[in-house]
Every structure is written in structure tokens, then in C-alpha cells.
Amino acid sequence: MFSKRFLYSKPFIISALAGLFILILAVAGFMRYIFAGLPPVYEMEEYTPSLTTKVYDRNNQLIHEFSIEKRSMVPLEDIPVDLQNAVVAMEDRDFFKHAGFSIRGILRALLHDMITGRAKQGASTLTQQLSRGVFLTQEKKLIRKIREIILAIQIEHKFSKREILQLYLNEIYLGSGAYGVKAAAKKYFDKDLSELTTGEAALLVGLIPAPGRYNPFANPEVARQRRDLVLDVMREQDYISQEELETAKAEILPQKPPVADKKPGQYFIEYIRRILEPKYGMDVLWKAGLNIYTTIDIEQQALAEEVMNKKLQEYDEQVAKGLGIEIDPNDAEADAPNQTDDDDEPVSTEPRTDYPRLQGAFMVRDVKTGAVRVLVGGRGFDESKFNRATQAKRQPGSSFKPYVWMAALQKGYTPATLVKDLPTMFYYDGRNWRTFDENADLYSLDLAKQTFIASRDFNVWVPQNYGGKSEGWITLRKGLEKSKNLVAVNLIDAVSPKAVIQIARKAGLTANLPNVPALALGVSVVQMDEHLAALTTFANGGIHTDNYYIERVEDANGRILEQHIPLESAVFSPQHSYLLINMMKGVTQRGSGAYVAKLGRNIAGKTGTTQSHRDMWFVGMTPYTAAAAWMGYDDDTSHENGARFTGSTTARWWTEIMEQILKDEPNDDFAVPEGISFAYINPISGKLAMPTDRNKFLEAFITGTEPESF
């Protein structure tokens, strides 16, 4: 036997103490390592999971959601009790008793780990699952498990059971991109939480361990068995009655995911995404739960999309018919079965789906503020994401003429001034465009033109009116109402292209505008959004406001991050603006846009048709609302042989849309500013009307510029 002296010798005690010290250091180091990987539990107070950013229209109607993870935060009181009970019954029946972890569960998991040599995912309390989902990685390691338990204890100490359960139900992943029970209810049943049945609540809870395996759309029988298991456990724990159990088990599982409706306004949504994503970053826009309040009126948007698509389809069929193409009314595939005649001989109808397809764009804005109410960038966002209202650059044709007329007004012309509706030839001498002998008649011009054509040193341009006819000298008003090309080019020659460019710039156009006489006919290219805003300046008494799309942006807590601040700039006099708008009213009453008169409203407008009918425009406005419509082909080609459309055609579907949009708007006229006088004139001579004149016309003038003679 060893002596007591040997057992308690000094070297032995030193060694034991040293070993104990090393053990303490090891344990301390291990615990430091464990706690170093834990986040401060107080962070959970400020923890915000990835939330859905919501977009609202002008009437605060939810129209879109930006989210990477489909998730919404819901108070516990708004979550059905059956759903809460099902989670507790299946995932943690002692949830309201334990301090964050289960001794039995841990021992069972450790035993499994030792036997299998790998960590087990299960045996976690709701609090442990929450700590893992919020703060920790999903790695199956013993170290993570220990951290999970410690963090769960801290969470239980810091938060109430109701707070923990609420965060768990909003955080848990339930498959198909759905985080939280609200998103899952929408994803699987297309329902709000309050509408869920007991069986549906049980199905959602059954997804928790393995959302892919228990997905009712992928594995319906497995999902049904899992749901029934949840219901049986709920019955065992007296959360539901036997009758409720049987009723819930009899419920039919969802057969397929809810079909997402093709919601209106997708071009608008994409446009504001392009505005906000560079400003706030992708993470904030898609994950921070912003609330975006926009200017769009979603009901008007839906109406505009429906009408435009319907009318363009009708025009497509007219074009196809003119080109000898047969269109299947049901859009049948090109290889559809052939019909047969009475002799059973095949008769090939060959319906085609590759016929020329018109595109269109439509935009509505508030005249005074610039708030955009409708933005249609094409016939279908799924078909083409290219926004023809904000990205396309197209020739405006005669819808550009109001800028020319404003330049003339600023040079002293009045609506009654006689202007030339006479053939004019322009030639380019290598440096400038010049007018050839303005007093020559058409025959002389034709002879002179041949001389210039024969010379390599000159280019020649002889514009014509639509239809080829000219009327000599007519009033400035009639030239605009009838959209006379010869009047436009003679005006721009008189006031200079440079003056017209300055007018267009002041109105708001930023497009490249060539310093050539043909500018008067809209040969430059413009964007619809800019063109509409610029022309609206005249309807707003000469005050320009930019288009805007977002009223304000709030964070998830309601704090305002940005808010629209109106900016106005007076660029034209109210008097000149009124004279122009008053003439543009005549376009919709007697001129190329007369179809609009069926609305019975005071509308100023202008049609536009480009060469070979490639672009067809109508822009019209009341004192409160302005709208632009365009149609054409994306490849910039013309199919005028199939059906010849003009800006007047576009005015027809503009009218059909605006009839509904304007139905609740007061039918007011444009306000007459100070300094405007009215006088009856002879519409042919432009002079004051005689008392005996039958067709006299009440014309507006800047006071002091009225005709002085009869």
C-alpha cells in the first residue's frame, strides 16, 4: 500500500493543481469561444427580418410588393389560435413551461449524435429554433447547438412567451419563398390569415420540418398524411374537439398554387423601381419594408390598358386583312388542323400568329402638379418590358407644331394673322437651308426643282400638305386646326428653326432638335413623357412642372424618407399660352382631332402622323388632366398598305379611355388671363367681321393686337 505521505506529497499536489488550472483555462477558453460567437441578445429587440416593401396608388390601395422573401410581420393577436396551438402541439408542447431548452430533448439529441457521429437537427424548442433562425448559421455542429441553447436561455430571460411565439411565427420558413405564416397563407391558399380553416392551419404547421417534402403541390399524399398527424396531435392535447378533427381531415388540400393575376401598372412599377433602387440600394428597397405612396390611379390604369389593347388588336386585324393574312380569332397555333370542304378535301386556312403587331403607349398626368396617373408602356409587360412611354424615342409628327405656333405668337403673330399655305421649296447650299423664290407658283417650283435635282451641289426639299392641297393664305388658327404642313414650314422659315428650338427647350424637351426647316413637321425624335409634360405647360398658363411618380417614401416605422416637393417655373406668358391653347381647342372641335368633340368637353389637343404612317399621336388636355397616346411598330416600319392609320385614329381610342377617366372631372374651360380680349373676325380675311358676315368667329387676342379694319 502507498503511504499517505506519498499520496499527498508536494510534487503530486503541484501536479494536481497545475492540471486543475489547465482544465480551468481550457474551460474558460472554450466558454470564451462559445460566447464570442453569440450576438448580444438585446439585438433581438431591434431585430427586423427581411420585410416586404409595399407600393400604394394615389388612393392608398396596395398595388405591388417588392420582396426577395415573401414575408410580413403580424401581431400575435392577428394569428389564428388554431395556428398558434398547432405550432406548440407539434414543435414544442412544453413551450409555456421550459426556460428555453428541454433536458430530455438535449439528452436524446446527444445520444443520437454519439451513435451516428453527426449532429441531429431536431429536438429543439421553439426558442432554440428562433435563436438559430435569427442569429445563428444552419450548420449542424455541436458548437452551434451549445450556442443555440445559451442564446435561447437569454431570449427567454429577456422576452415574454407571447413575444417569442409572435416572432417565431413571423420568422419561420414555410417553403416556396414564404417566410412567416401570413406569407405562407397567401402562397398556399391565396387567403388572409383570418380566413384559414383548422385543416389549413395544420397543413402550414406540418410544413415546418421539411417544406419541400410536405409541399401539397409536389407531394399531395405525403402532405395530407402530415396534416392529419398535426390534427391528431392537436386532438390528443385537447386543442380541438373530435368533431373539429373530423371536419378538418375532410378538407380538400390545395391542388395547385394560386394563379397570380396579371396586375395592371407593371410598367409604372418598373419605372419607380428604376428611380428608387439606385437611391436606396437593392437591400433597402427589397428587404426593409418601405411604404411607397405613388401618384398612379390603379383603376384608371387598368381601364387604359384594357381599352388600348382591345383597340390595337382590332387595328392589327385590319392590317392583316389588308395584307391578305388570316388571323385566328382565338390566336390558334399556326399548325392548327385544317378544315375540310364538302368533298372532304383539305382546305388550309393557315391561321398566322406572326402578323404585324402594333404597339402603343398611353400616359396621363395632372396638368398643374405633374403627378402621373397612368403609364402604359406597351401591350403587355410580360411580352416586352421596354417602356414606350419613357424609353422610346419616336418622331412626334404634327404634334410638334404647337412649339412652332408658340414661336410665331412670340414674334407678334395673332390667331387671325394670315399665313402662307403655299408650296415652298427649300434647298441646301452646303451650309444652310434656304427658301427658293417665295413668290413662285407651283409650276415654277416644279421647274426649278428639276434644276436643283440635277446639281450635285444642292439638296432640295419640297414639303406638301397631307392630301396634297393648299389654300393660299389662311389664318394662323386654321393652319393649326387643319394641321397644315405648308403653314408650319413657312412659319418656321419666318421665325427661324432656332427660335422654335428655344421654345421647345423652355417647354421642357431635352431631345436633340435639328436646326432645319423640317423640324416644324416633327422630324426629330422625342420621348412621350417629355413631350406630354412640355405641351402641358401651355395648358398650365405657361408654367412648367416635371412629371413625378412618387408622393412620399416611408420606412417600416412610418418615418418619411422622402416627399415630393413641387417645383414650378414660369416659362411662357399666360397670354401667349392661352392663345395657343385656345387654337388647340379648335383642333378637337373642327380640325384633325374632331372625334374628341364627342366628349362634349373643353379639350385642347393635337394629332400627329409621321411619314409613311410610322407614328400616330394624339395629345390632349383639359384644364386639369393631360394625356398622350401613341401607336406604331417597334421596328419603325410602315404597314400602310394594310390599313392607313393617322393621328386621328389614335385620337379615337384616346377618347374612349378619357371618357371614363374624365367622367368625374368638372367640365370647366381654360381660364382667361388678364390682358386677353375677344373680337369677332372674318375667318377667311382675318379682319374684323362685318355685321352682315354669317361665319364670323369670336377670336382671342392679347389686348391691343386685335384687327383694326374690316
- Choosing from 91, 305, 481, 656, the catalytic residue is 91
DSSP states of 350-414: ---S-S---EEEEEEEETTT-BEEEEE-SS-TTT----TTTT--B--GGGGHHHHHHHHHHTT--
Contacts of residue 231, Cβ cutoff 8 Å, sequence gap at least 6:
198, 199, 202, 240, 245, 248, 249
Residue 594 gets which letter from DSSP? G
Q: How far apart are alpha carbons 256 and 250 in whole angstroms?
A: 18
Helix axes 181-189, 161-171, angle to 10 degrees: 40
Mode of pairing for the β-strands spanning 625-632 and 615-621: antiparallel
91 classed as catalytic:
yes
C-alpha distances (whole Å) from 557 to each of 290, 291, 517, 650 are 9, 9, 57, 46
Which neighbouring-strand residues pair with 55?
Answer: 64, 292
Residue 418 phi, psi dihedral angles, 5° rounding:
-80, 130
Q: How far apart are alpha carbons 85 and 73 in whole angstroms?
A: 19
Cell 402641358 belongs to 536
* Buried/exposed 157-183: b ≥16 CB within 10 Å, e otherwise: eebeeeebbbbbbbbbbbbbebbbbbb
The answer to whether 373 touches 365, Cβ cutoff 8 Å, is yes
The answer to whether 74 touches 181, Cβ cutoff 8 Å, is yes
C-alpha distances (whole Å) from 324 to each of 349, 355, 678 are 12, 10, 54
- Choosing from 67, 72, 131, 398, the catalytic residue is 398
Helix axes 485-495, 401-410, angle to 10 degrees: 40
C-alpha cell at 171: 420568422
Q: What angle do CA 299, 648, 323 make, to 5 degrees?
A: 100
Q: How far apart are alpha carbons 174 and 180 in whole angstroms?
A: 7
**Chain CA centroid to CA 109, Å:** 52
Q: How far apart are alpha carbons 300 and 307 in whole angstroms?
A: 11
3-state secondary structure of 248: helix
C-alpha distances (whole Å) from 339 to each of 325, 329, 345, 593 are 17, 15, 9, 44
The answer to whether 578 touches 705, Cβ cutoff 8 Å, is no
Q: How many residues does the chain have?
A: 710
Q: How far apart are alpha carbons 116 and 225 in whole angstroms?
A: 28
Cell 377667311 belongs to 684
Q: How far apart are alpha carbons 447 and 457 in whole angstroms?
A: 18
Sheet holding 550-554, edge to edge: 62-66, 53-56, 291-294, 550-554, 560-563
Active site (catalytic) residues:
91, 398
